[in-house]
Amino acid sequence: MTEKKHAGFWMTLTGIVLIALPVAFFLFSLALGSYDVGPVDVCQIIWCKFVGQTPPQDALTVNVIWQVRLPRVCAAALVGAGLSVAGAVFQGVFRNPLASPYTLGVSNGAGFGAALAIVLSLGAAGIQLFAVAFGLLAVALTFLIASRSRRNTVTLVLAGMLIGALFSSLVSLLKFTADPLEKLPQIVYWLMGSLSGSSFEALAKILPFYIVCMAAVFLLRWRTNVLSLGDQEAKSFGLNVKRDRALVIGTSSMLTALVVSISGIIGWVGIVVPHLARMLVGPDFRKLIPTSVSIGICYLLVVDDLCRTLTASEIPLGVITGIIGVPLFLYFIYKKKVSW
C-alpha cells in the first residue's frame, strides 16, 4: 500500500503545480511590458478593484493593468485553455494525433465570417458574432455531409477538410475583392491571430457560453474516455456512439468557435498542448482535461508575452505558435511520445 501512498503524493504534487503555475504566469504576464509595474503592485491593484477600493497606485499604472493588460492576459488564458481542451477532445474522439480543434473546419468558417464582417464594416462586435456564426455553420455543414455515411470518424475528418477548403477559398475571394489599403490588412491580421485588441466587452460576450461548453466537456469526460476506444468498443460498453460523439464534438467545436472569435486563428496550440498533457498524466480525460487547461493557459500566456515584448512592434500570435509548435511536435515524434 506504500506504493499507492507514493502515487497519491505525486498526484497531489502535480495537482498543486498545475494550479500554481498558471497563477504565477498570469501575474508575471500582467507585470510584464514596457511600462514597469512590479508584481506586488499588480496584486494590490487587482485586490483593490476586486473589493471595490481605489488602488493607491497612480491612475496611469492602474489603467495599464486594468484596462490594457488584464483583458489581454485574461483572453490569453481563456483562449489557451479552450483550444487545448478542444484539441485533446478532438484527438481522443478521432483517435488521431494530428487532429486539432480546427479539424472540422471551424477556423476556416470563422475566418470567412470575420473577413465578411470586415468587408461589410460591421465593427468589432460584428466581426466577433460573424466569426462564431460561420465557424459553427462550417461544423454543421461538415456534420451534414458526413451524416450520409456510416463510417463516421473518417468521413467526418474528410468532410471537415472539404468544408475547410471551401471556406478558405471564400476567404481568398474576399481578400481579393477587399479594399487593399483599409480592409485587406485587417483581414490578414485577423487571420494570423492576435490578442492585442482584447477588451472586457468582447470577453464578456463569450464568457457565459464558454463556461457552459467547458463545463459540458468536463462533465462528459468519462464518456469521452470510452469514445476514444473506438466505435465498436464504445457501443459494446453501452454508448450511443453517434449521439455522444456529436455531443462531445459539438461542445468542443462551440468552444473553439468562441475563442477564435476573440483571438483570430491561432494554430498548433490545440495540437501541441494535448500531447504535452498526455505525456504528463496519460490519456485519461479525467486528468487530461484539467492538465490541458493548466498547460494551455501557461503556454499561451508565454507565447503572448513573447509576441508583445520580443520586438518593438507586435508579432501576430499565430506566427509564434507555429514557429514554436512545429519543432515541439517533431520532438514528440522523435521521442515516440506521440503515443499510437
Q: Which of 50-58, 108-116, 138-146, 213-221 is the region at the interface with other proteins (rule: CB under 8 A)?
A: 213-221
319 to 62, 176, 193, 224: CA distances (angstroms): 31, 22, 8, 31
| CB closer to other proteins, 149 vs 236 | 236
List of residues 6+ apart from 109 with CB closer than 8 A: 134, 135, 136, 137, 138, 139, 163, 164, 167, 257
Q: Which of 112-120, 167-175, 235-243, 256-264 is the region at the interface with other proteins (rule: CB under 8 A)?
A: 235-243
Number of residues interacting with other proteins: please give it, by CB under 8 A. 28
Q: DSSP letters along 36-102, please?
A: ---HHHHHHHHHHHHHTPPPSS-HHHHHIIIIIIHHHHHHHHHHHHHHHHHHHHHHHHHT-TT--TT
At its nearest, how many Å lie between other proteins and the CB of residue 244? Answer: 9
Q: DSSP letters along 309-328, please?
A: HSSSSPPPHHHHHHHHHHHH
Q: What is the CA radius of gyration of the chain?
A: 21
* Number of Cβ atoms within 10 Å of the Cβ of 305: 18
| CB closer to other proteins, 31 vs 229 | 229
Contact between 85 and other proteins (CB under 8 A)?
no
| CB closer to other proteins, 243 vs 312 | 243
At its nearest, how many Å lie between other proteins and the CB of residue 190? Answer: 35
| CB closer to other proteins, 242 vs 310 | 242
| CB closer to other proteins, 192 vs 241 | 241
Q: Which of 33-41, 42-50, 204-212, 233-241 is the region at the interface with other proteins (rule: CB under 8 A)?
A: 233-241
Interaction residues for other proteins, span 272-301 (CB under 8 A):
278, 282-284, 286
Task: Name which position in 232, 313, 334, 335 contacts other proteins (CB under 8 A).
Answer: 232
Tally of CA atoms within 13 A in the half-sphere of 142 that contains its CB: 34
Interaction residues for other proteins, span 113-142 (CB under 8 A):
none
Contact between 245 and other proteins (CB under 8 A)?
no
Contact between 152 and other proteins (CB under 8 A)?
no
Contact between 9 and other proteins (CB under 8 A)?
no
| CB closer to other proteins, 49 vs 95 | 95
Grid coordinates belonging to 178: 477587399
List of residues 6+ apart from 12 with CB closer than 8 A: none
Contact residues for other proteins, defined by CB under 8 A: 92, 95, 219-223, 225-226, 228-230, 232-233, 235-241, 278, 282-284, 286, 339-340
